[in-house]
Structure 1
Amino acid sequence: MTATAAASAVVPEPAAAVAPEPDGAPDGLWPTTARRTADGSLAVGGVDLRDLAREHGTPAYVVDEADLRGRARTFADAFAAAFAPDRGLAGAEVYYAGKAFLTVAVAGWVHEEGLRLDVATGGELAVAVRAGVPGPALALHGNNKSDAELRAALTHRVGRVVVDSLPEIGRVADLAAAAGVRAPVMVRVTTGVHAGGHEFIATAHEDQKFGLSLAAGAAAEAVAAVLARPELELVGLHSHIGSQILDLAGFEVAARAVLGLRAQVAEQTGYLMPEVDLGGGYGIRYTGAESAPPTPARVATALADVVRRACADLGTPPPRVSVEPGRAVAGPAGLTLYTVGTVKDVRLDDGGARRYVSVDGGMSDNIRPALYGAEYTAALAGRASAADPVTARVVGKHCESGDVVVRHVALPADVADGDLLAVPATGAYGRSMASNYNAMPRPPVLAVRDGRVRVLVRRETVEDLLALDLG
């Protein structure tokens, strides 16, 4: 079959939308500096991605530094304004959720732009320390923190340890006593609110591993246990209801529940906790089909209104509030650049066909589609094309039929071996969830800004993998 005949045999599906072109909109799919050059190539941060690929190879994670910094600063400014004391509130802090995407440079960027940093493991804590983030600007999460991780947190004088179970309270207190410090802690509360896209990323329903149940009384028991240990300072309560949340209604329900527990503890003990963390999980666009995500200003204003109303109803002064956007800061600022290899058409049962476009990465650099069906889109990055669109499935090179990068996308019919393909909105949970499956070295992280490329994390090599194997 000729290439022309093969193209005509591929029947487009309604779900296979053409990826929206980059337009610099902060609520769009692409980094805000993404543009098409005069001859149709994609440029980000003033860098032509063809030049980047020639120098650094593919696959590669590309991060728009100005975009990521700008999103961090926008969140910091929005919450500072919405929770200002002259608006009857007690201020707010924004913690960047390091699990979304963390390198030494990124930790430094978000701190410089006014954010604090939330870490979940000793490794993430070490990255933050290497970046020079001071201890009071850090929070340590985790449902199963090791003694070594807790000791490191106490040594670095982190601003809060978020306790996640009753046994952990005693462990933190004992370690603090041994270190001769008083540990600031928050109690993570499970509110029963279920929000977000997939069951695996919803974090506040009862039957899961995080937090202490409000309904079952475990949260109140944990608060009492913290107050009984002089080695611990009860900073406040923490709630997190999920990820990729586009509707803010769930935050009002969760916030009222947490603020109610705060008021109850104050009434019973006389101690009014100074802080409440309302979590994060604010969503972004991945394919262009999603509704526009709420802006940082809208999120901040909505949460401020909730806190103001709830505290008025409860008759308690408002707490200082903290939130934890990660995906909403890093996700749109990054893309993954691939090179196309094999292109083939596969006949479908309905008589049509689908074009399979294989790239040089896959589930080892973006596990989200295989893990919980996350949807992405893709576009040619190295040239323009006037060819008609065809339904395509972008797949990786791993030995798994589920190794899908983009399930449905309309690509030009002339897509071919050697083309560059860009997948937007991979700045969060791409690199941080990457693996060496099939002994694939992980891609580099390349920051682009003002026409220059900086290697933040170098590309792994096969030699790196073999160096770990002691034979």
Structure 2
Amino acid sequence: MQDLTPTRDPVTWLTRHQPDEPVMFFSPATLRDTAARFLRGFPGLVTYAVKANPRAEVLDTLCAAGLGAFDVASPAEMAAVRAACPGAVLHYNNPVRSRSEVAQARALGVASWSVDSMAELDKLTGLGDVEISVRLALPVGGAAYDFGEKFGADPDMAAALLTRVVQMGARPAMTFHPGTQCAAPEAWARYIAVCAEIAQAAGVRLARLNVGGGFAAHRAGPAPDLEAIFTRIAQETARCFGPEAPALVCEPGRAMVNDSYSLGTRVKALRGDKALFLNDGIYGALAEWRDIAPGDRVQVIAPDGTLRTGTPQPRVVYGPTCDSIDRLPDPLALPTDTAEGDFVLFSGMGAYSLALATRFNGYGPSQVVTVG
């Protein structure tokens, strides 16, 4: 359910309605600003990785903000984009597909495909003049976790795939993903340099180079310097490819949608000063906190709307379900004056929260409120 009734901010809404279930708050203005930042700063085509948050309000807002291309991983995501933006260009960058998925994607007009093996490339025989992007994987650090273990070809295979793409009559391109929550410009630089070497070895001029997603979102500490990454990408592409540099593409997901949502939870119970129970947890909107470092953009709000300001104290945070593993993996520093019935507001919760949330035991966020 989505509440489109205008409200100024999450705290105002929480104190007015006193919800007992977790609530997600969506700021269209924040999402528009982030889209503008990418469109203004990235030196190429900006696509949105739908997997991060496929909700209609996200796709509608991005389409209205000027994004005309989307990175999709399944026919369901393709259909969602077509509903929001019928003329959008679809980039199908999940490199492993069933033959049924290939047929559905063709019917939906996918313009760009990625591959990382000969077997998957063979499934695309007969597509004609489309872009086929060879996905590269390298042992490059700088991210919260590496995508190369599951997807991507090594340099030798990438060169062979490029050669075969040209033989098939498709437009050759390359792509990579530096890994999630990557804030190191050198990760992109290393991938770009190797892509140039592979294209040269294969004797192929790339039509485009997709530098992936992975752009870090603001979870803790200072906000990531996206512009430094944009600049490094442009510089390294010019250095490595020279006058024959391919057009650039990026596919931000997390960094695009992260700041446009916040999560309002409530303290159900305290266990002394060591632990507390929230009405949401790892089976809900906090699912991804199991896999990457916890954020620190957290506030505790009393039921009357005042900010709790006690000395931060680490506490074990349990979710509401009957499963004992429903707990955040690391203690969360919360004010010592935190009390039962307080609201705990998590900022920067737009990425993967609603996409991963379940209704296990009947819990989880069931409402999205528009703010701003």
Q: Is the CA contact (8 Å cut-off) linking 1:119 and 1:139 kept in structure 2?
A: yes
1:284 aligns with 2:247: no
Residue 35 of structure 1 is matched in structure 2 by none
Residue 213 of structure 1 is matched in structure 2 by 154
Q: Is the CA contact (8 Å cut-off) linking 1:121 and 1:141 kept in structure 2?
A: no
Worse overlay, 158-167 or 144-153: 144-153
Q: Is the CA contact (8 Å cut-off) linking 2:277 and 2:320 kept in structure 1?
A: yes
* Distance in 1 separating the partners of 2:350 and 2:19: 18
* Distance in 1 separating the partners of 2:59 and 2:348: 19
Distance 1:399 1:157, change over 3 A: same
Deviation at 1:445, TM superposition (A): 2.8
* Distance in 1 separating the partners of 2:229 and 2:312: 37
* Distance in 1 separating the partners of 2:56 and 2:40: 23
1:327 aligns with 2:254: yes
* Distance in 1 separating the partners of 2:37 and 2:244: 27
* Distance in 2 separating the partners of 1:377 and 1:400: 26
Write out per-residue CA displacement over residues 188-221 of structure 1, whole angstroms, 9 at most, x where no aligned residue: 1223323301xxx3123xxx2202111xx11112
3-state DSSP class of the match of 2:197?
helix
1:264 aligns with 2:201: yes
1:357 aligns with 2:276: yes
Matched to 1:355, the amino acid is K
Matched to 2:120, the amino acid is E
Matching of residues 297-308 of structure 1 within 5 Å: 297-308=227-238
Q: Is the CA contact (8 Å cut-off) linking 2:117 and 2:153 kept in structure 1?
A: yes
Matched to 1:65, the amino acid is P
Residue 289 of structure 2 is matched in structure 1 by 369
Residue 61 of structure 1 is matched in structure 2 by 24
Question: Which of 393, 413, 418 is the matching residue for 2:341?
Answer: 418
Bigger Rg over Cα: 1
Residue 142 of structure 2 is matched in structure 1 by 195
1:242 aligns with 2:179: yes
Residue 152 of structure 1 is matched in structure 2 by 104
Deviation at 1:388, TM superposition (A): 4.4
Matched to 1:123, the amino acid is A
Residue 47 of structure 2 is matched in structure 1 by 95
Question: Which of 297, 321, 327 is the matching residue for 1:398?
Answer: 321
Deviation at 1:265, TM superposition (A): 2.8
Distance 1:213 1:367, change over 3 A: same
* Distance in 1 separating the partners of 2:167 and 2:119: 14
Q: Is the CA contact (8 Å cut-off) linking 1:370 and 1:402 kept in structure 2?
A: no
Matched to 1:58, the amino acid is E
1:275 aligns with 2:208: yes
3-state DSSP class of the match of 2:41?
helix
Residue 293 of structure 1 is matched in structure 2 by 224
Unmatched 5+ stretches in structure 1: 1-43, 84-91, 346-353, 450-471
Distance 1:294 1:377, change over 3 A: closer
3-state DSSP class of the match of 1:421?
strand
Deviation at 1:75, TM superposition (A): 0.5
Matched to 1:383, the amino acid is T
Matched to 1:146, the amino acid is S
Residue 437 of structure 1 is matched in structure 2 by 360
3-state DSSP class of the match of 1:99?
helix
Residue 299 of structure 2 is matched in structure 1 by 379
Worse overlay, 234-243 or 395-404: 395-404
How large is the Cα RMSD of the aligned pairs? 2.4
* Distance in 2 separating the partners of 1:120 and 1:398: 31
1:76 aligns with 2:7: no
* Distance in 1 separating the partners of 2:167 and 2:241: 26
* Distance in 2 separating the partners of 1:242 and 1:48: 32
Matched to 2:152, the amino acid is G
Question: Which of 82, 87, 106 is the matching residue for 1:134?
Answer: 87
Q: TM-score, normalised by structure 1?
A: 0.71
Distance 1:190 1:45, change over 3 A: farther
- Size of the alignment, in residue pairs? 361
* Distance in 1 separating the partners of 2:7 and 2:154: 45
Worse overlay, 107-116 or 329-338: 107-116
Matched to 2:97, the amino acid is K
* Distance in 2 separating the partners of 1:441 and 1:332: 20
Q: TM-score, normalised by structure 2?
A: 0.88
Deviation at 1:146, TM superposition (A): 2.2
Write out per-residue CA displacement over residues 396-442 of structure 1, whole angstroms, 9 at most, x where no aligned residue: 11234432348333333332222111112211111112123334355
Matched to 1:49, the amino acid is V
Write out per-residue CA displacement over residues 164-207 of structure 1, whole angstroms, 9 at most, x where no aligned residue: 32111111215x3xxxx64432111223323301xxx3123xxx
Matched to 2:271, the amino acid is K
Q: Is the CA contact (8 Å cut-off) linking 1:376 and 1:405 kept in structure 2?
A: no
1:49 aligns with 2:1: no
* Distance in 2 separating the partners of 1:185 and 1:109: 28
Residue 104 of structure 1 is matched in structure 2 by 56
Q: Is the CA contact (8 Å cut-off) linking 1:262 and 1:272 kept in structure 2?
A: yes
3-state DSSP class of the match of 1:407?
coil
Distance 1:188 1:385, change over 3 A: closer
Deviation at 1:138, TM superposition (A): 1.7
Distance 1:379 1:75, change over 3 A: same
Unmatched 5+ stretches in structure 2: 1-5
Question: Which of 154, 164, 179 is the matching residue for 1:225?
Answer: 164
* Distance in 2 separating the partners of 1:427 and 1:45: 18
